Amino acid sequence: MTDTKPPLDSATIAEEDDGIRLDRWFKRHREGTPHALLARWARSGQLTLDGKKADVSDRIAAGQKLVMPTPPVETAARPARKGRPLTDADVELATGMLIHRDASAIVLNKLPGLATQGGTKTEQHVDGLLDALKFDGPTRPKLVHRLDKDTSGALLIARTPRAAAYFAKSFSNRSAKKTYWALIVGVPDIQQGEIDLPLAKQPGSGGEKMHVHDDGLPSKTRYRVIERAGNSAAWVELQPLTGRTHQLRVHMAAIGHPIVGDGKYGGKAAFLTGTISRKMHLHSRRLRIDHPDGGAINVSAEVPDHFAASLDALGFDLLLGEVGIDMGEKGPPPKAALKAQAKAHAKQIRKARRGERRGRSAEGKPTDFVGKPKPKAKAKPGKPAPKKPVGKKPSAKKHPARPPRAS
- Output the pLDDT for position 362: 43
Q: Which CATH architecture has domain 93-316?
A: 2-Layer Sandwich (3.30)
329's CB contacts (< 8 A; 6+ apart) are none
Q: Which helix (H) or strand (E) holds 42?
A: helix 35-43
| Cα 1–chain centre separation | 65
- What is residue 13's three-state secondary structure? coil
- Output the pLDDT for position 370: 35
Pick the catalytic residue from 17, 148, 150, 262: 148
The span from the CA of 358 to the CA of 372, in Å, is 9
Angstrom distances, CA of residue 91 to CA of 83, 152, 237, 290: 14, 19, 32, 28
DSSP assignment, residue 17? G
- Output the pLDDT for position 360: 43
DSSP assignment, residue 217? B
- Output the pLDDT for position 349: 56
Q: Does domain 8-69 have CATH number 2.40.40.20?
A: no
Break the chain into its structural domains and give their ranges: 8-69, 93-316, 323-350
pLDDT in tens, 239-286: 999 989 999 999 999 999 999 999 999 999 999 998 999 999 999 999
**DSSP sequence for 315-363:** T--GGGGGS-TTGGGGSSPPHHHHHHHHHHHHHHHHHHTTT---SS-TT
The span from the CA of 55 to the CA of 66, in Å, is 12
Angstrom distances, CA of residue 341 to CA of 183, 345, 350: 20, 6, 14
pLDDT in tens, 24-43: 888 877 777 888 888 899 99
Phi and psi torsions of 339, nearest 5°:
-65, -40
The span from the CA of 237 to the CA of 226, in Å, is 7
The span from the CA of 121 to the CA of 103, in Å, is 34
- Output the pLDDT for position 162: 87
- Output the pLDDT for position 10: 85
Long-range (24+ apart) CB contacts under 8 A made by 222-225 are: 222/193, 222/194, 222/195, 222/325, 223/188, 223/192, 223/193, 223/194, 223/195, 223/252, 223/325, 224/191, 224/192, 224/324, 224/325, 225/187, 225/188, 225/191, 225/192
- Output the pLDDT for position 75: 44
Which among 21, 72, 20 has a CA at the least distance from the CA of 42?
21
- Output the pLDDT for position 377: 54
The span from the CA of 192 to the CA of 223, in Å, is 6
The span from the CA of 182 to the CA of 265, in Å, is 14
- Output the pLDDT for position 404: 53
The span from the CA of 151 to the CA of 74, in Å, is 45
Angstrom distances, CA of residue 270 to CA of 15, 138, 209, 263, 295: 49, 45, 16, 6, 40
Whether 148 is catalytic = yes
- Output the pLDDT for position 80: 42
Asked if the domains 8-69 and 93-316 are classified in one and the same CATH topology, the answer is no
- Output the pLDDT for position 21: 86
Q: Which helix (H) or strand (E) holds 109?
A: strand 105-110
- What is residue 210's three-state secondary structure? strand
Q: Which residues of the chain have pLDDT under 70?
A: 1-6, 15-16, 71-83, 120, 207, 324-407
